[in-house]
Structure 1
Amino acid sequence: MKITLLTHQRELERKTNTGALALQHCGNMVERLVWARRSPAVDLVKAIECGKAVLVYPGGESRGTQLEDFAQVILIDATWQEARKIYNHSPYLKAAPRVTLTTDTASNYRLRRNQPNGGLCTAECVIEILRRHGENSAADRLHTAFIQFNQAGYARN
């Protein structure tokens, strides 16, 4: 199983970016690709075209699409506004099967404003994906790191 973070360029510099936590604590299960509007990653486009990758994105869930059925999961790692821009300007993402992550608990992420109800930050999404794929040890490591990151960042603000 591989989780691909399709990351907006601005996220690379943000101290509140939780995608970086996933990269640090999940080994080779998580990779980062910086989004390029005019030159998408060839391997990512091929994975979508071959039906090997699924996009986690809110709304319009494909019928019968199960997250666990895919070897590659794509997450857009950006602010909510930037994520919409990436999705809207990337025809190959619109061709991908889509799933929406729903959980019983609200997001614990408090370091950014304008979080939509039911929305999860990148690290929380990765934790949920790992658990659904039975990677509980990696999910636990990331969860612990996320709690510490969130608390430390909240104390700074």
Structure 2
Amino acid sequence: MNQPPYLATTCVRCGFQHNCYCDAIPTITSDLTVTLLTHPNETKRATNTGQIVKQLLPNTHIDIWQRKGPIPSYIASQERLSVRESELEPTTPVLVFPSESSVPLAQWQSQHPRGSHFILLDATWQEAKKMLNRSEWLQALPQVSITAPESSQYQLRRNQQSGNLCTFEVVAQMINELESDKTARTMLAFFKDYLARYQAERCGHRLDKP
């Protein structure tokens, strides 16, 4: 008797049809408050990794970049600074961006024990620089930089410059520097698995698991 063909259905959570990764998402504990300031072009790209960060870290916000005005989560941070609702709430907005004026992430955190609201530019490197140059409110923020690993796992886009990390890898490195190298390794192990699933999904077949 012939077996019926395999019928794939699209997962309503992750959007994958053949290689759902929902069961592979690890449980991550982190106190970081992160906003991914996303370029409008990124919302149309299947290769965007900011959405994966949000699935792992509960305190992640995604806001679409607007040139003329601050994002809602930034405004909320400023309001908490002025009213001082709680000494335990992360309140200090800071931009994660490598520049001559940026300070090492760990050094910044040691000087701001109340916590910080980290803003990342979720875009290509070229777009991120334009976002910063065109937004005065971003330019006014203090800047921090991470210690980037020598190589990136992310190879889903063309013309990627050596030494550049994707959004997911930047967040993993932040956790590595500020909280737990074990948690960061767990994130990167999941990311490696995700990339394999993504490549198989793009080719329209199920990834063979050992």
The verdict on a shared fold, with TM-score over 0.5 as the criterion, is yes
Aligned residues: 156
Equivalent of residue 6 in structure 1, options 37, 42, 48:
37
Equivalent of residue 100 in structure 1, options 142, 145, 157:
145
Tell me the residue number matched to 2:193.
148
TM-score for the superposition, normalised by structure 2: 0.64
Tell me the residue number matched to 2:46.
15
The answer to whether the 8 Å contact 1:48/1:95 transfers is no
1:1-157 correspondence to structure 2 within 5 Å: 1-26=32-57, 28-44=58-74, 47=77, 52-62=92-102, 66-68=107-109, 69=112, 70-135=115-180, 139-155=184-200, 156=202
Distance 1:145 1:48 in 2: 34
The answer to whether the 8 Å contact 1:5/1:33 transfers is yes
Shift of 1:42: 4.7
SS at match of 2:164: coil
- CA 1:90–1:48 in 2, change beyond 3 Å: closer, same or farther? farther
Distance 2:75 2:140 in 1: 9
The answer to whether the 8 Å contact 2:33/2:116 transfers is yes
Specify every segment of 5 or more residues in structure 1 that has no aligned partner in the other structure, as ranges.
none
Shift of 1:44: 1.0
Larger Rg: 2
Distance 1:76 1:113 in 2: 19
Larger deviation, residues 57-66 vs 87-96: 57-66
TM-score for the superposition, normalised by structure 1: 0.83
Counterpart residue type for residue 53 of structure 1: P
User: Which structure has the higher relative contact order (CA within 8 Å, separation 6+)?
Assistant: 1
Larger deviation, residues 85-94 vs 56-65: 56-65
Counterpart residue type for residue 77 of structure 1: D
Specify every segment of 5 or more residues in structure 2 that has no aligned partner in the other structure, as ranges.
1-31, 82-90, 204-210
Larger deviation, residues 116-125 vs 95-104: 95-104
The answer to whether the 8 Å contact 1:48/1:92 transfers is no
Distance 1:38 1:59 in 2: 22
Distance 2:151 2:99 in 1: 17
The answer to whether the 8 Å contact 1:57/1:99 transfers is yes
Identity %: 36
**Which structure shows the bigger proportion of residues in helix conformation?**
1
Q: CA RMSD in A?
A: 2.6
Shift of 1:46: 6.6
Tell me the residue number matched to 2:88.
none
